[in-house]
Amino acid sequence: MVVSILAAASTGYPSSSGTDPEAEIGPVLTHTAIENTNRVMRDQGIALPDTILANGDLKPKDHPGAIVLAPPSALGSAWAKKFGPQETAFASGWMAIRGVRRRRAGDRGFVISDHADWDGLLSAIKETEAENIYVTHGYTDIFNRYLNENGWNAQVVPTQFEGETPDKDAAE
């Protein structure tokens, strides 16, 4: 049996549909990085479908028809190989760029961005009534300038994180 592994950012299991995917696709197994985020989200009261942590004790043959959610870095690892024959897919905004899925050696690609958009960020700032905003990723200078020009106390916090780029990720 071929196992389906979906690689996505470790930002938690999407539940926007409000449906139970297990009823349609079988059990959902998660890599520790994804399950850790799921746990935090559940602890905050966010309803997520049931998942099963795919740790060292898990026997893949006990979960036929499962889909496995993992960060991209787990693909090709000893952890992923324990599932046997597999088809892989990537869920990322980068899938909209021609050739990225092929360079990452994925069987499928789904265009889903894990980044907040401009309006979503502004909405979160307004709704939380944040007094201080620290911009760390993306168009930091532009967003910081906009926030300050519109009355918020914002500043850029330089980080070593370079973010995702299609060329960098394809080389990994």
**pLDDT at position 118, please?**
84
What span, in angstroms and rounded, lies between the C-alpha atoms of 35 and 139?
29
Residue 138 · residue 115 · CB < 8 Å: yes
Q: What is the largest CA-CA distance in the chain?
A: 58
Structure tokens, 47 = 């309803």
What span, in angstroms and rounded, lies between the C-alpha atoms of 70 and 67?
10
Strand partners, 88: 5
Strands 108-110 and 132-135, by their bridges, are unpaired
**pLDDT at position 18, please?**
44
What are the tens digits of pLDDT across the range 118-164? Answer: 888 899 899 999 999 998 877 889 999 999 999 999 999 887 655 44
- Predicted structure pTM score: 0.65
